[in-house]
Structure 1
Amino acid sequence: MPTPERTSTEQIIGAAVRLLEDGGPAAVTMQAVANAVGVKAPSLYKRVRDRDALLRLVGEQAADDLTRRLEAASGRLDDALLAFRRFGRERPEAFRLLFTSLVDADRLAATSAPVLRVTEAVVGPAHALDAARLLTAWATGFVTMELAGAFRLGGDLDEAYRYGITHLVGSLRTAQEPERPAHGS
């Protein structure tokens, strides 16, 4: 008779997510996850090849969570940017993990889809990717600096983020297309 399963992949990922958010990537060890789900570490290897594979699964879960949040936004570009920041603030370690080579490119591409849709609604299809990259780079930089405590000059960060959204999205809505620099400039 086979041994009954004492844990599931979902429970393992859930424990790893909690450990990640509580202590960063260094806290996500096979032993710590095994302890959290109530099994011996060797039992985890039936479901997860190694620590990198486990972190990859956690990253995929984070990408899926962010995708759901972006999909649930109102369909307005500013709401998508607010959802992006909210994810980073609520799940800072998962946010950081998204920007590592561990996360599957297809999962990240799925995260990009709702951003591209709302960006296309503002700038049209010809420049949707350019605009999405601009906004994603700005929002990622802002949230990364915020999480690192790098904004030390005071002021209201919520107001600063809304200011950035207002002006960046507003600049994308202008009727006149800016001149693009020549290649190699």
Structure 2
Amino acid sequence: MPTPERTSLDAIVNAACDLLEEEGLASLTMAAVAARVGVRAPSLYKRVRDRSTLIRLVAEATLAELGARLDGVRDPVELANRYRALGHARPAAFQLVMAPGPGIPPVDEHYRQVATEPILRISVELAGEEHALDAARTLTAWCAGFISMELNGSFQLGGDVDRAWGFGVERIVAAITRG
């Protein structure tokens, strides 16, 4: 009789995502995730090869979530706001995919495409086919930079950060919109 499965890959990735948000990347270990899903660490290795693979799976799940949040959005301001919402909802995961740092494994290209397709689609509408990639990079870089600074507490001069976000999004969209 085969041994029953005690956990699924989805449960492992979800537990890893939660652990990342609660305790940070340094605490994202195979043993910690195994404890969260109620198995011993050796059992986890039946589903996930190593910690590097676990981190990659978390990053891919984050990109899939970002793509789902952006899917079908037609308005560039709404797209930027949803991008920011992910950063607020999952700050550690957001930082993991936007500024991965040394030693973080690359994600499968499919997940990167899922997250970037909505941005590219809107960028084509704003800047035209010829400048769509440049526009997408500009919009993404501005959003990611603003959100990262916000998450890291870098806006120390006072004022309304939400108002600054709205101002910035409006100006970036205007800047990348063709004549």
Q: Name the TM-score class by shorter chain.
A: over 0.9
TM-score by length of 1: 0.90
TM-score by length of 2: 0.93
What is the CA-CA distance between 1:37 and the residue it aligns to?
0.7
Figure out how many residues of one structure are paired with residues of the other and give that number.
Answer: 174
Which ranges in structure 1 are unaligned for 5 or more consecutive residues?
A: 176-185
State the distance in 2 between where 1:26 and 1:118 align.
Answer: 36
2:62 aligned with 1:62: yes
Q: What CA distance in whole angstroms lies between the structure 2 residues aligned with 1:9 and 1:104?
A: 17
Corresponding position: 1:53 with 2:61: no
Kindly provide the CA deviation profile for residues 132-177 of structure 1, in whole angstroms up to 9, marking residues without a partner as x: 11111111110110110001001111110100011111223352xx
User: Relative contact order: is structure 1 or structure 2 higher (C-alpha 8 Å, sep ≥ 6)?
Assistant: 2
Runs of 4+, deviation exceeding 6 Å: none
CA distance in 1, matches of 2:65, 2:72: 11
Deviation at 1:105, TM superposition (A): 4.8
Q: How does 1:63-102 map to 2 (within 5 A)?
A: 63-73=63-73, 75-99=74-98, 100=100, 101-102=104-105
Mapped partners of 1:124, 1:31: distance in 2: 49
The one of 152, 156, 159 aligned to 1:148: 152
Give the whole-Å Cα distance in 2 for the aligned partners of 1:44 and 1:151.
41
2:126/2:178 contact within 8 Å kept: no
- Local SS of the residue matching 2:71: helix
**% of aligned pairs identical?**
46
Are 1:24 and 2:24 counterparts? Answer: yes
In 1, Cα distance between equivalents of 2:106 and 2:70: 18
In structure 2, stretches of 5+ residues that fail to align are none
Question: Helix, strand or coil: the match of 1:155?
Answer: coil
**In angstroms, what is the RMSD of aligned CA positions?**
1.2
SS at match of 1:3: coil
Structure having the higher Rg:
1
C-alpha distance in structure 2 between counterparts of 1:24 and 1:118, whole Å: 33
Whether contact under 8 Å (1:6, 1:39) holds in the other structure is yes
